[in-house]
Structure 1
Amino acid sequence: MTKLILALSGNKALAAHDRQVSLGLRRLVGSGLLVAVGYIDPGNWATDIAGGSGFGYHLMMVVFVAAFLALGFQVLVSRLALATGEDLATLTVRHLPRSLARVSWLAGEAAILATALAELIGGAIALRLLFNLPLLAGVGVTAAGTFAVLAVARGNADRHERIIAVLLSIVSVSFIFLLFKVQPDWSAVAHGTVTPARALRDPAGFLIALGILGATLMPHNLYLHSGSLAHRAREVPREARGLAMRIARNDTIFSLGIATLINAAIIIVAAASLSGGPLPVTSLDEAHAVIGKTLGVGAAVVFAVALYAAGQSSTITGVLAGRVLANGFRASKWSDRKRALFTRLVAGSVAIALLIATGGQDPDELLVLSQVVLSLALPFALVPLVWLAMRRDVMGSYTMRGTWAVLAILATVGIIALDGYLLVLQAM
């Protein structure tokens, strides 16, 4: 309506301004896809398969609760970026003591390295399943695939999003196919979803639940989302920021909704095809083998292709998050390719060393390790985020207060408490 009025008024300057605002608002759509892929990386696969094969559908509720928490914090960080025009890393440096900001930066870098480790190991496992390629060679091929994707994208944000959309579509279609093949009992799915206590009372089930939470809430996604939106917010005038926040919120809900459904599908496929044995399936190799026996070779190939697509999509977001982190914390001015090379060299060296040390046995343990690192790094992003969102001098009229502030604080404290419990369990 506004565009029509301006056009009829003959005021070309105002009409041009309105078109520019409209273009800026449209460009906000798509940033949610960048963070959605972080919720379906190989680490998520490992925890979801362990949960589905060991406890049927009883951990489905954990997936939904973790997704709800993740959605809340991603919407909060999008509001921070759109209200200020700055990303979380930049604001952390500006408003936190230097020592605390440095700790947050180091935790963020550790999270990105952990994500790169999961991507390399997950990709190597997928290539072994597809082509019987040795794990060490698969790590190298997966790393090379990262640079091929970056070369195609060439630093273009819209191109990154299109590539991610294609990879996410591959994973989505793959699990629609697998759900069709497995034909789950939907009444059993519903009953298991609303009865999580059976799994949570079991120490192993509770540990898997913590893993699902750690694999869903990722610190580098907070930095990436804020960086993507902060850059675009500068094209939106302040009077349109409220509308921009609603657009970003809806984009985030839609994108994370897709990721949540994929995670739920992984648990359903695992519960329907992998559970019931004397021991739970604890590795992607086992899952692939059992799916091949129960659902056919075609289903096993689809499973492996989806795993590789999930790993490659997460590598793009890891590189982009690294750029936001480095620029915001003023750590370096490296290009995306230099950061990707350094990160993959470090993560690849760790992966190869650990694979050699273990003789290539149980590579899924490295995926679990990566999720532990992500879980422990999360509070160093959440605490500054919540604190900044509650400051009126930072957020202005968009300051978080009242019930939302209390809920954000309680969720952050709860996550920190769960991290402490996870440390205790790992030490035992």
Structure 2
Amino acid sequence: MASEDKKSKREHIIHFEDTPSKSLDEVNGSVEVPHNAGFWKTLAAYTGPGILVAVGYMDPGNWITSIAGGASFKYSLLSVILISSLIAMLLQAMAARLGIVTGRDLAQMTRDHTNKAMGGFLWVITELAIMATDIAEIIGSAIALKLLFNMPLIVGIIITTADVLILLLLMRLGFRKIEAVVATLVLVILLVFAYEVILAQPNVPELLKGYLPHADIVTNKSMLYLSLGIVGATVMPHDLFLGSSISQTRKIDRTKHEEVKKAIKFSTIDSNLQLTMAFIVNSLLLILGAALFFGTSSSVGRFVDLFNALSNSQIVGAIASPMLSMLFAVALLASGQSSTITGTLAGQIIMEGFIHLKMPLWAQRLLTRLMSVTPVLIFAIYY
């Protein structure tokens, strides 16, 4: 009898569902929105999910690629960032529309039209994709901690797993708290790079010309490879799963056409505004690379190289200072931590959606986190 009770308890803790519950059930429909308010008050209520999506488009994995693009080809690849951002806006608007209209996220909808084996396969490859991007975010955060506090990389990597506890706490306080924390971190990134670009004094006419596409991007192999890197770092597939889920955090009545229509409208505006900010940040990164490091691309191959270069007057000129280096490290930490929070949420969404696996929130998020942290720890220990 006791063994049966233990078995049923285990099944209750970790089990597969025949029919999955709502996407991110604990926060689904948890944010009230006004029904008869004006434009700006309604927009404020819907603003938030877009910023969580946007951080994936300006994570540490983007930094080296964008700065290297500027250091190698000056402002020529700004057009690639522009086109990538426009594509991202379209895809994210479609993902949000899917979630709002159907009440299902992209993983759940895909699983509805596939069998169990295919669902498992899709979960594996999507999880691997999340891990690939998450690894860059973990490494970025760990390096930032080392640069700021001279903390060993292994210790920094372990500390980054604490964002699981932060996420659990914020979830208990409400989804708007997560949005506020991530928005603050993104604002730090934006202000740091805007300040550094202003100091760098880029050539504005040449900069604006860089947003016009040209044939060299395709005909020049080196430029093409970097362009593909920028596209790959900018368009983040797991953000589509995230966007389709967190668009459902706003409480609406799907039986009322006008409410659904309004939700789509304001969610799309929110998404486009936040992705415009991501576009600005990525542009600032490339502009910084062009203005400070053009002709010295070997100086921007690693985060540590960039940190050191910003305080080296022989590389960046008279504006070089330890403060610029420290601001860079602060922005790197903000980027890494905001991205890992959203990456953990995306991991939960695809796990529940593709394989219908349910477990306690702490276990689910810890498992998702460890899947990304473990390979980084192994690499740090042995290499």
Q: Which moved more, 1:300-309 or 1:147-156?
A: 147-156
Match of 1:78 in 2: 96
| Structure 1 residues 143 and 244, CA gap change in structure 2 (3 angstroms) | same
Shift of 1:111: 2.3
Q: Which amino acid aligns with 1:256?
A: L
TM-fit CA distance, 1:27: 4.2
What is the alpha-carbon distance in structure 2 between the residues aligned to residue 232 and residue 278 of structure 1? 45
1:14 alignment counterpart: none
Output the amino acid matched with 1:106. Answer: V
How far off is 1:99 after superposition? 3.6
What CA distance in whole angstroms lies between the structure 2 residues aligned with 1:162 and 1:227?
18
Displacement of 1:19? 5.3
CA distance 1:28–1:103, shift in 2 (3 Å):
farther
Deviations 1:271-309 (A, max 9, x none): 111122274622111111111223311111111100100
Structure 1 residue runs of 5 or longer lacking an equivalent are: 1-16, 360-428
Q: How many angstroms does 1:26 deviate by?
A: 6.2
Give the whole-Å Cα distance in 1 for the aligned partners of 2:207 and 2:357. Answer: 48
The 1:197–1:356 alpha-carbon spacing in structure 2 relative to 1, beyond 3 Å, is: farther
Q: Distance in 2 between matches of 1:154 and 1:212?
A: 36
User: For residue 103 of structure 2, what is the amino acid of its counterpart?
Assistant: G
Matched, 1:268 2:290: no
Superposed counterparts of 1:221-232, under 5 Å: 221-232=239-250
Larger displacement relative to structure 2 (43-52 or 186-195): 186-195
1:79, distance to aligned residue in structure 2 (A): 1.4
Partner secondary structure for residue 133 of structure 1: coil
Report the number of matched residues: 342
Find the counterpart in structure 1 of residue 118 from structure 2: 100
Q: Is the 8 A contact 1:60 1:196 kept in 2?
A: no
What is the aligned-residue RMSD (CA, Å)?
2.5
User: Structure 1 CA distance, aligned partners of 2:69 and 2:342?
Assistant: 26
Greater RCO (CA < 8 Å, at least 6 residues apart): 2
Relative to 1, partners in 2 of residues 1:195 and 1:78: Cα closer, same or farther, differing over 3 Å? closer
Structure 2 SS opposite 1:58? coil
Distance apart, 1:43 and its partner CA = 0.5
Paired with 2:343 and 2:36, the residues of 1 have a C-alpha distance of 30
The equivalent residue for 1:56 is 74
TM-superposed CA distance for 1:225, in Å, is 0.8
CA distance in 2, matches of 1:25, 1:102: 38
Higher mean alpha-carbon deviation, 48-57 vs 325-334, is at 325-334
Q: How does 1:398-413 map to 2 (within 5 A)?
A: none
TM-score by length of 2: 0.82
More helix as a share of residues: 1
User: Which segments of 5 or more consecutive residues in structure 2 lack a partner in the other structure?
Assistant: 1-31
Aligned residue number for residue 5 of structure 2: none
Cα gap change, 1:271/1:20 in structure 2, threshold over 3 Å: closer, same or farther? same
Work out the percentage of aligned pairs sharing the same amino acid: 34
Equivalent residue in structure 2 for 1:243, among 262, 265, 288: 262
Q: Aligned pair in 2 of structure 1 residues 183, 337: CA closer, same or farther (>3 Å)?
A: farther
Q: For the residues of structure 2 that align with 1:86 and 1:148, how far apart are their CA atoms?
A: 26
| 2:363 corresponds to which of 323, 338, 361 | 338
**Residue equivalent to 1:40:** 58
Match for 1:130: what amino acid?
L
State the partner residue of 1:220. 238
Query: In the alignment, which residue of structure 2 is the partner of 1:65?
Result: 83
| Contact 1:31 1:225 (8 Å CA) reproduced | yes
Deviation, 1:76, is 0.8
Distance 1:145 1:242, change over 3 A: closer
CA distance in 1, matches of 2:273, 2:127: 28
Deviation at 1:149, TM superposition (A): 4.8
Alignment of 1:28-427 (within 5 A): 28-154=46-172, 156-194=174-212, 196-232=214-250, 234-240=252-258, 241-277=260-296, 279=298, 281-293=300-312, 294=316, 295-357=320-382, 359=383
CA distance in 1, matches of 2:140, 2:173: 24
User: Please, what TM-score do these two structures have when normalized by structure 1?
Assistant: 0.74
